[in-house]
């Protein structure tokens, strides 16, 4: 009998009435075979607790970080929904029991607040499932080797679900408030289409480029353990009718008709830092990025260009918007040593990306992108590429225009799995 892990987010579990709806979906699947469920906290609950933790204030100088107690407080949200869903399932005649992170156990490293799962005891969990009991597992949380509660960071319940599925050799259905993975954000492009299938690699790029459907780490795990993941909506779904719904995230080989471009993603969470008038010498970039690495600032896109006059150069790079102020201060403090003339920060930027495994074997993909943007008069500030994606940094005001232009340029609004291939020739 094939095993199934079902994961439900906070909006699907916002109150007991909705939890009753979730239980109905679970009961229908449990009638077919072994099921484990992974739950988030009730919508809004985690924010409430984060606010409490914040109002407690930072530790006094000399005392260790608060991240461990943050985890102890915040993880209580999933404890509540796990218990409540088990109760409602029993009320519907389904045998069920809850598991907290420490009970499963889901072992993590000691990086409180952003812990990584190290192992899940699939053996024990499988016994529960095979005995006909639905295991309801609190997502987002685990336990460290020292026996302390850890949490996995925002969206971590997706990762819990995939890790449990990997340990159980199960497939994983992620229930959310959208119908699946779309060619782009339907709020921007009404003609966005739901993808039937998307490869792990593409999903990974889409997730890290700003598509908020799945947590990046969960896709990495799914890819590493080859867990088939389906993204589907818990709303307006008849119990037991999940077959063929949503989007399947799977191996590239399982996707018969390859598209060159599968989706267009965008993110406004970045800021651009420009260092102007740098000396043109080999050691300068290392000098800059060593400082950022030491301060734990992640740099995404980088471009170096010759300055208009003289033989100095300009360096532009992007960092998370939260880190922008800190990065600028860091650079200005080292101005004499690095030797630039001026540092600037620009938060009015957006990163727009096209993603597709078909790029590996097709030429002309970048050209299509640049032409489409140029036709709308959108200037490209920075470019970065990987084997299956091209990202450009543009003025944030043009975000929607760029997304729609690219969606059309790659034919993503046309029905049919191979549409993308046709448009990019």
Provide the minimum distance between the beta carbon of 74 and a copy of itself in the complex, in angstroms, as a whole number.
8
Provide the minimum distance between the beta carbon of 111 and a copy of itself in the complex, in angstroms, as a whole number.
17
Q: Which of 14, 28, 50, 73 binds a copy of itself (CB under 8 A)?
A: 73
User: With binding defined as CB under 8 A, does residue 69 bind a copy of itself?
Assistant: yes
Distance (Å, rounded) from C-alpha 94 to C-alpha 114? 34
3-state secondary structure 272-301: EEEEEEECCCCCHHHHHHHHHHHCCCCEEE
Q: How many residues bind a copy of itself (CB under 8 A)?
A: 43
Q: Which of 11, 50, 68, 400 binds a copy of itself (CB under 8 A)?
A: 68
Segment interacting with a copy of itself (CB under 8 A) among 63-71, 336-344, 368-376, 395-403: 63-71
Segment interacting with a copy of itself (CB under 8 A) among 87-95, 155-163, 286-294, 395-403: 87-95
Enclosing H/E stretch for 83: helix 76-91
Cβ contacts of 308-312, under 8 Å, gap ≥ 24:
311/280, 312/277, 312/278, 312/279, 312/280, 312/341
Cα dihedral 97→99→105→110 (10° resolution) = 180
Closer to a copy of itself by Cβ: residue 38 or 249: 38
Give the single-character DSSP code of 420.
Answer: H
Q: Which of 21, 28, 43, 79 binds a copy of itself (CB under 8 A)?
A: 79
CB 177 within 8 A of CB 79: no
Interface with a copy of itself in residues 30-49 (CB under 8 A): 49
Nearest residue to 24 via CA among 42, 11, 12: 12
Closer to a copy of itself by Cβ: residue 70 or 340: 70
Distance (Å, rounded) from C-alpha 66 to C-alpha 64? 7
Distance (Å, rounded) from C-alpha 141 to C-alpha 127? 22
Closer to a copy of itself by Cβ: residue 79 or 304: 79
CB 228 within 8 A of CB 166: no
How many CA atoms, within 13 angstroms, populate the side-chain half-sphere of residue 393?
21
Distance (Å, rounded) from C-alpha 196 to C-alpha 341? 51
Q: Which of 11, 28, 43, 76 binds a copy of itself (CB under 8 A)?
A: 76
Closer to a copy of itself by Cβ: residue 60 or 336: 60
Interface with a copy of itself in residues 92-121 (CB under 8 A): 92-93, 95, 97-98, 100, 102-103
Provide the minimum distance between the beta carbon of 55 and a copy of itself in the complex, in angstroms, as a whole number.
5
User: With binding defined as CB under 8 A, does residue 72 bind a copy of itself?
Assistant: yes
Provide the minimum distance between the beta carbon of 116 and a copy of itself in the complex, in angstroms, as a whole number.
21
User: With binding defined as CB under 8 A, does residue 410 bind a copy of itself?
Assistant: no
User: With binding defined as CB under 8 A, does residue 283 bind a copy of itself?
Assistant: no
Task: Please give the C-alpha separations between residue 241 and each of 8, 17, 24, 85, 245, in angstroms, as whole numbers.
Answer: 16, 20, 12, 20, 8
Q: Which of 4, 6, 13, 19 binds a copy of itself (CB under 8 A)?
A: 19
**How far out from the chain centre does Cα 255 lie?**
22
User: With binding defined as CB under 8 A, does residue 310 bind a copy of itself?
Assistant: no
Q: Which of 30, 36, 38, 88 binds a copy of itself (CB under 8 A)?
A: 88
User: With binding defined as CB under 8 A, does residue 53 bind a copy of itself?
Assistant: yes
Nearest residue to 230 via CA among 244, 248, 254, 206: 248
Provide the minimum distance between the beta carbon of 27 and a copy of itself in the complex, in angstroms, as a whole number.
11
Q: Which of 21, 24, 43, 148 binds a copy of itself (CB under 8 A)?
A: 148
Query: For 319, phi and psi rounded to 5 degrees?
Result: -135, 165
Query: Given the rule CB under 8 A, which residues bind a copy of itself?
Result: 16, 19, 49, 52-53, 55-60, 63-64, 66, 68-70, 72-73, 75-77, 79-80, 82-84, 86-88, 90-93, 95, 97-98, 100, 102-103, 147-149
């Amino acid at each position: 009998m094939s095993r199934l892990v079902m994961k439900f987010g906070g909006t699907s579990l916002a109150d007991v009435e909705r939890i009753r709806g979730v239980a109905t979906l679970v009961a229908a699947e449990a009638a077919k075979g072994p099921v484990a469920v992974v739950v988030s906290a009730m919508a809004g609950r985690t924010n409430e607790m984060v606010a409490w933790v914040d109002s407690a204030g930072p530790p006094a100088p000399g005392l260790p970080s608060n991240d461990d107690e943050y985890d102890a407080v915040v993880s209580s949200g999933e404890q509540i929904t796990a218990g409540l869903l088990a109760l409602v399932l029993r009320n519907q005649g389904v045998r069920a029991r809850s598991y907290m992170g420490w009970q499963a156990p889901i072992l993590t490293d000691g990086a409180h607040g952003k812990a990584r799962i190290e192992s899940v005891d699939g053996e024990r969990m499988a016994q529960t499932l095979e005995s006909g009991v639905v295991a309801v597992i609190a997502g987002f949380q685990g336990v460290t080797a020292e026996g302390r509660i850890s949490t996995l960071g925002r969206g971590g319940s997706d990762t819990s679900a995939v890790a449990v599925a990997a340990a159980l050799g199960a497939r994983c259905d992620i229930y959310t408030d959208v119908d699946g993975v779309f060619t782009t954000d339907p709020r921007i492009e009404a003609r966005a289409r739901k993808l039937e299938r998307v490869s792990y690699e593409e999903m990974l790029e889409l997730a890290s480029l700003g598509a908020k459907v799945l947590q990046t780490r969960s896709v990495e795990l799914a890819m590493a353990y080859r867990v088939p993941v389906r993204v589907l909506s818990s709303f307006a779904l008849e119990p037991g009718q999940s077959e063929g719904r949503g989007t399947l995230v799977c191996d590239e080989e399982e996707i018969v008709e390859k598209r060159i471009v599968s989706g267009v993603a965008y993110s406004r969470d970045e800021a651009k830092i420009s260092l102007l008038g740098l000396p043109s010498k080999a050691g300068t970039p290392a000098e800059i990025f060593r400082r950022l690495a030491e301060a734990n600032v992640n740099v995404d896109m980088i471009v170096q260009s010759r300055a208009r006059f003289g033989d100095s150069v300009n360096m532009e790079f992007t960092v998370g918007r939260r880190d922008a102020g800190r990065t600028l201060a860091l650079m200005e403090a080292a101005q004499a040593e690095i030797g630039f003339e001026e540092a600037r920060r620009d938060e009015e930027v957006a990163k727009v990306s096209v993603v597709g495994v078909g790029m590996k074997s097709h030429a002309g993909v970048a050209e299509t992108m640049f032409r489409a943007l140029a036709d709308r008069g959108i200037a490209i500030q920075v470019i970065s590429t990987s084997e299956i994606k091209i990202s450009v940094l543009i003025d944030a005001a043009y975000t929607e225009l760029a997304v729609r232009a690219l969606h059309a340029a790659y034919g993503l609004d046309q029905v049919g799995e191979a549409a993308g291939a046709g448009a990019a020739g």
